[in-house]
Each structure stands twice: as C-alpha cells, then as structure tokens.
C-alpha cells in the first residue's frame, strides 16, 4: 500500500499530465500554425532535400512525428503527394521529433549546482514555468479567440507537460535504492529485450516523444546505463510507426505504402545502427569513458536526448542515398494488380486532425469541381454549332462527377467545421459551402442545355439567321462570364470577381431583348410556337448560369470585404451606388450588343 501511495499513483498522475500536456500543446500548435502549415505544404516538391526540410519543419512545429506521418499518409492517399515525395518528408519527420527530448531535458538542469554553476539553476523549469503559467492563463482568460488565445493554450500545455515530467521524475527518484527495481532493469542489458520494451511502450502510448520522456524520467534514478538505454530508444523509434500503420488501414495502396516507408526506414535504421554499434564494440573490446566501459556508464536526460538524435541523424545519412529503393521496397511489399484500377480518395479524413490542411485540401478539390462544371457548360454550348452525341454524353458524365464532388465536399466541410478551426478557416469553410452549390447547379444547367440541343436536332428545327446571331452573342457572354467566375474563384482574384455582376446584368438584358425580338418575329410568322418553347428553355438556362456566376463573384467579394453573406443587399448596393459597376456595365453592353 505504501508503494502505491508514494510511488505508483504519483507516477501515473505525472504520466497522465505529461501525455495530456503534450496532446494539448501539439493540438494548439497545429491550430496556431495552420496558415503557416498551408504555406509550407504549398511549396512541396519531389526534391528529397526540400521534402526532408518540410518534414523537419512541420514536425518541429507540431512536436509529433506520428502526426506528421499520419498527415503524409493522408496526402499520399488523396493524391496530393507522390510516394517518392513522402520518403523525404518521413525522414525529416523522424529527425524533427528529437527536439522534444531536448526540451524535456531542461527539467534536469540546476540540481545540486554550486558556485558559478548555480547560474544554471535559472534555466531549471521550476524557475520560469510558474511565470509561463501565469502568462498562459492571462492569454486564455482575457482573449476570446485568435492567435493570442492559441498561444495561451500552447503555453499551458507546455506547463502541464513539464509538471507531469517533474512528477514522474520525483515519483521514481527513490527507486535507485530499491534492489528489486535494479534487478528488473538489468534484464534490459540484453539488447533484444530492451528493443522489445521500447517498441511495446511506444506502441501503447503511440508517441516516441512520450515514451522517450518516460525513459528520461526513469533516468533520474541513476540506474539506467547507456547499454540499457540504447536498445530501448531504438525500439521506441520502431514502436512509433504503429500510429501511421493503423491510420493506413482502409487507405489506398499508396497510402499503405507511405506507412510502410515509415516502418521500413526505422527498422532498417535500427538494424544497421544497433548491429554496427555492438559489432564495433566487440571488435575494439568495448569503448571506455573515464576508465569505465561506455555501455556501463549511467545515462541522464541529456544523454537520452543525444542518443535519440544521433540515431536519427545516422539513419538519415545511411538511408537517404537509397531513398528511391525505399519507395521500391514499399511497392514490392504492396503490389499493383492488373484488375485493380485504384483511384485516390480526393478528401482524406485523416487530414481533419489538422483543420488548416483539411480546409486547404477542400479548397483545391473545389477548384477541381469548378473546372469540371465549367468544362461541362462549355461543351454544352459548343453543341449548338456542331452536335456530337459523344460530347453530349461527356457533359452528362461531367455533371455526375460534379454531383459526387458536391456531396463529398459538403460532408467533408461539415466534419472539418466541427473540429477546432480558427477564424480564417471558418470563413473559408463558409465560402466553400456556398460556392459548391453554385458550381453544381451550373453543371445541371449544362445538361439542360444539352437537352435543348438534342431537341433541336431531333425535331430538325432551324432558327432564323437573326435568331442564330442573337443566340451566338448570348452564348459568348455566358461563356465569358463562366471563364471569369472560374478564374476569380481559383485565384481568389477579388478584382476580377467585380467584373461578374455587370456582365450578369448584360446577360439579363440580352435575354429580355431576344424574348422581345422572338415575339416580333412570331407576329411576322418568321418563327413558330415550337421554336419559342425551346428558345425559352435555352434563355432560362443561360440566365440561371449567369446568376450562379454572380453568386460566386458576390460571395468572394462579400467574404473578403464584409465577412457576411447578404448577397441581395450587396448586389443592390453595387448596382445603385458603384461608379465602377456602371462603367463596366456600359463596356459590356457595347461588347455584347445585338
């Protein structure tokens, strides 16, 4: 009972605080650095050196190689990143996670310092963590949202982490005089047992940073030697792969391969480094430090951090020249089958754990949807010049594709919005949810236009030369407004978006003018009622397409300027009060006159 009260419960409490602090700090870092992560990921390249730096930077930011690797699995699975790109990023992630061990080593500073060395005590967390805690609480309590509040959560997560680390260290410090504990540790003098212990512990907590931190806490007992620690640390690097492996279940083949690359990298690195270390140690008869065998020297927190980092650097140095072979090994392990035509998931839910990245991916997919819808409309408009049944079928296929995109994007964006997103990403989600509906409806109208073209062909109707000329002008205006809306959205070009509304008004004017001219021709018996029905359907679809383009443009402008979605109020305002609108409207009216 005394053992439970004095050591086990404080140890478990410290472990709980340590893991919670690490999780809170990591989540807050990802949220705070969201836009920065998007910028970094936007510069992704197949260059392995840049990929390595990318993985290094991102992992240093979010303090978790497991999180980075899961993100990589999501990118490869969604087609955002190639498998070859993933190799460099994974290597960088493995090195980047070592920074946590160095941060945790700060808790060992200042103990027993005397004289000049007492100055180091100022670096001990006990000296400054309380100040950090006060600053963090102030940021959380007195700021409602935004970067400052995120920073507050980062700092309080760090405080909780360091407090948990101290509790674990204090709880196990008395074990150095316990013979039973020392006897248990001597089991780890056998490298394979130490390797297995490190793997199992890390697989359970699913974080090499956390398991290394636990080992650092145990090192304060003074009972762990370099010989015991090295296999455990190397085993921890294999155990951390479990998170990515679990994440890859249900992924595409390339997603599974990305997880295997992470696993193979660590297994190969551990095999080479561990075998090389013991082989050289055996050949030279053992390294000595201060007259004592290196493997028998007691390791401290800094030693654990150093071993952890050196292993990762050696692994990268040895394996990086053969990074293409690592990709081939993953492909050999999971082979392509002739029957299997695998399609990458456009929206991978693994990315939702990093909302900023998920929103960026949803934006990219929405751009693809916009291309599909606008392509469908252009093909539909071209059928009036030369009808082709194959092209008509392509329009219908594109419309089905746009429908699937809208369904997938809508569900995905709702799930992302339910996570902890910042203000900028919330704004982007709102914009995308409005815009995907307009692009989907544009593809619907493309199919309606195809049906009108087919009806003209089937009934062998022929419009008068004047009507053809008028419709050609209207089709040109609709084609141009589609081009402007697509380009404005894809490039987030607000200035270009302002050109949509005046052109939409010109399309409305053209529709009214053509209707009036048809009535006049009908009175002169130059057209028939049957022509009028088809013409009315065509004009209605053309006008509705321009309306949806208007919605896209107004949404872009409103979200950029006012952060609101009162489109009717905005349209009324610019049509009545904007000189720029009136000038552009006059230009378009002249360009598309009939």
Q: What is the DSSP string of 92-147?
A: HHHHHTTHHHHHHGGGGTTTT--GGGGGGGGGSHHHHHHHHHHHHHHHHHH--SSH
Which residue from 489, 272, 263, 460 is spatially nearest to 367, judged by alpha carbons?
489
What pTM does this model have? 0.60
Read off the tokens for 178: 């316990």
Instruction: Please give the DSSP secondary-structure letter assigned to residue 6.
Output: I
CB 365 within 8 A of CB 79: no
Most confident of 37-41, 44-48, 413-417, 527-531: 413-417
Mean pLDDT of the chain: 79
**For 246, phi and psi rounded to 5 degrees?**
-60, -45
* Lowest pLDDT segment from 101-110, 169-178, 186-195, 343-352: 169-178
Q: What is the pLDDT of residues 141-174, one digit of tens each?
A: 887 766 788 788 878 887 887 787 677 767 766 6
Which of 31-35, 76-80, 287-291 has the highest average model confidence (pLDDT)? 76-80
| Domains by residue range for the chain, with CATH | 9-111+122-333 (no CATH), 349-591 (1.20.58.220)
Residue 363 exposed, middle or buried by CB count within 10 Å (0-12, 13-18, 19+) = buried
**pLDDT value at 270 more than 60:** yes
Average pLDDT for 430-436: 91
Q: Is the pLDDT of residue 267 over 90?
A: yes
pLDDT at 110 over 80: no
Is the confidence at residue 50, as pLDDT, over 50?
yes
The residue among 252, 417, 421 whose CA lies nearest residue 341 is: 252
Region 133-137: what's the mean pLDDT? Answer: 89
Between 489 and 102, where is the model more confident?
489
Listed residue (514, 503, 509) closest to 550, CA to CA: 503
Give pLDDT, residue 522: 81
pLDDT attached to residue 116: 37
Instruction: Give the pLDDT band of residue 16 (cuts 50, 70, 90).
Output: confident
Res. 339 pLDDT band, cuts 50 70 90: very low
Band (74; pLDDT cuts 50, 70, 90): low
Q: Phi and psi for 298 in degrees, rounded to 5?
A: -75, 135
With vertex at residue 334, the alpha carbon angle to CA 332 and CA 339, rounded to the nearest 5 degrees, is 110
Greater pLDDT, 58 or 278: 278
Instruction: Supply the pLDDT for residue 505.
Output: 92
Arithmetic mean of pLDDT, 251-267: 84
pLDDT higher at 590 or 221 = 590
How far, rounded to the nearest angstrom, does the alpha carbon of residue 468 sit from its chain's CA centroid? 49
Higher pLDDT, 116 or 296: 296
pLDDT class of 123 with cuts at 50, 70, 90: very low
In this prediction, residues 421-447 reach a mean pLDDT of 90
Say if residues 521 and 353 touch (Cβ distance below 8 Å). no
pLDDT tens digits along 381-424: 999 888 888 899 999 999 989 988 998 899 899 999 888 788 88
Higher pLDDT: 260 or 175? It is: 260
Q: What percent of the chain has pLDDT over 70?
A: 77
pLDDT of the residue at 115: 41
**What is the rounded average pLDDT of the residues 30-51?**
59
Segment 331-336 mean pLDDT: 82
Both tokens assigned to 223: 């009972």
Q: Which two tokens stand for residue 471?
A: 């419709």
Of the ranges 202-211, 220-229, 317-326, 393-402, which one carries the lowest mean pLDDT score? 202-211
Q: Residue 577's pLDDT is what?
A: 60
Q: Which residues of 521-552 are buried (b: 16+ CB within 10 A; e: fewer)?
A: beeeeebeeebeebbeebbebbbebbbbbbbb
Q: What are phi and psi of 545, to 5 degrees?
A: -60, -45
Contacts of 196 (CB under 8 A, 6+ apart): 235
């Amino acid at each position: 009972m005394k053992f439970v009260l004095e050591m086990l419960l404080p140890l478990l409490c410290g472990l709980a605080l340590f893991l919670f602090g690490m999780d809170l700090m990591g989540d807050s870092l990802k949220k705070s650095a969201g836009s920065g992560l998007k910028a970094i990921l936007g510069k992704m390249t197949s260059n392995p050196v840049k990929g390595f730096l990318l993985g290094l930077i991102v992992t240093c930011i979010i303090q978790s190689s497991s999180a980075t690797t899961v993100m990589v699995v999501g990118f490869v699975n969604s087609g955002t990143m190639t498998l070859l790109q993933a190799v460099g990023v994974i290597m960088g992630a493995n090195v980047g996670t070592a920074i946590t061990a160095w941060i945790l080593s700060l808790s060992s500073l200042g103990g027993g310092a005397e004289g000049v060395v007492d100055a180091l005590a100022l670096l001990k967390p006990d000296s400054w963590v309380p100040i950090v805690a006060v600053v963090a609480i102030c940021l959380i309590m007195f700021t409602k949202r935004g970067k400052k509040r995120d920073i507050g959560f980062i700092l309080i997560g760090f405080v909780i982490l360091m407090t948990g680390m101290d509790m674990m260290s204090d709880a196990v410090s008395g074990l150095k005089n316990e013979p039973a504990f020392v006897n248990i540790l001597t089991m780890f003098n056998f490298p394979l047992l130490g390797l297995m212990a490190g793997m199992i512990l890390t697989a359970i907590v699913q974080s090499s940073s956390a398991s290394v931190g636990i080992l650092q806490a145990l090192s304060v007992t003074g009972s762990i030697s370099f010989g015991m620690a090295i296999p455990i640390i190397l085993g921890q690097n294999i155990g951390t792969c479990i998170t990515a492996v679990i994440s890859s279940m249900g992924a595409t083949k390339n997603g599974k391969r990305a997880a295997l690359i992470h696993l193979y990298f660590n297994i190969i690195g551990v095999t080479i480094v561990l075998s090389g270390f013991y082989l050289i140690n055996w050949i030279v008869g053992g390294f000595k430090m201060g007259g004592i065998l290196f493997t028998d020297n007691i390791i401290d927190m800094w030693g654990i951090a150093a071993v952890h980092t050196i292993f990762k650097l050696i692994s990268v140095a040895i394996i990086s020249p053969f990074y293409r072979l690592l990709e081939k090994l993953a492909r050999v392990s999971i082979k392509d089958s002739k029957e299997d035509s695998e399609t990458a998931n456009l929206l991978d839910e693994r990315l939702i754990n990093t909302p900023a990245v998920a929103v960026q991916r949803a934006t990219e997919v929405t751009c693809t949807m916009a291309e599909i819808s606008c392509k469908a409309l252009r093909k539909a408009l071209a059928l009036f010049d030369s009808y082709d049944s194959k092209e008509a079928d392509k329009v219908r296929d594109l419309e089905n594709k746009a429908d699937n995109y809208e369904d997938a994007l809508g569900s995905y964006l709702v799930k992302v919005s339910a996570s902890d997103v910042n203000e900028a990403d919330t704004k982007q989600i709102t914009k995308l949810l409005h815009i995907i509906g307009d692009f989907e409806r544009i593809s619907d109208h493309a199919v309606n236009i195809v049906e009108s073209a087919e009806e003209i062909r089937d009934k062998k109707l022929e419009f008068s030369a004047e009507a053809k000329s008028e419709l050609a002008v209207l089709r040109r205006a609709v084609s141009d407004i589609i081009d402007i809306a697509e380009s404005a959205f894809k490039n987030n070009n607000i200035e270009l978006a302002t050109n949509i509304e005046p052109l939409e008004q010109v399309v409305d004017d053209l529709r009214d003018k053509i209707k009036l001219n048809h009535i006049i021709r009908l009175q002169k018996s130059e057209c028939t009622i049957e022509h009028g029905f088809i013409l009315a359907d065509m004009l209605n679809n053309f006008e509705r397409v321009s309306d949806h383009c208007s919605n896209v443009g107004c949404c872009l402008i409103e979200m950029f300027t006012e952060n609101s979605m009162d489109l009717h109020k905005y349209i009324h305002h610019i049509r009545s009060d904007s000189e720029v609108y009136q000038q552009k409207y006059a230009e378009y009216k002249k360009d598309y006159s009939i």
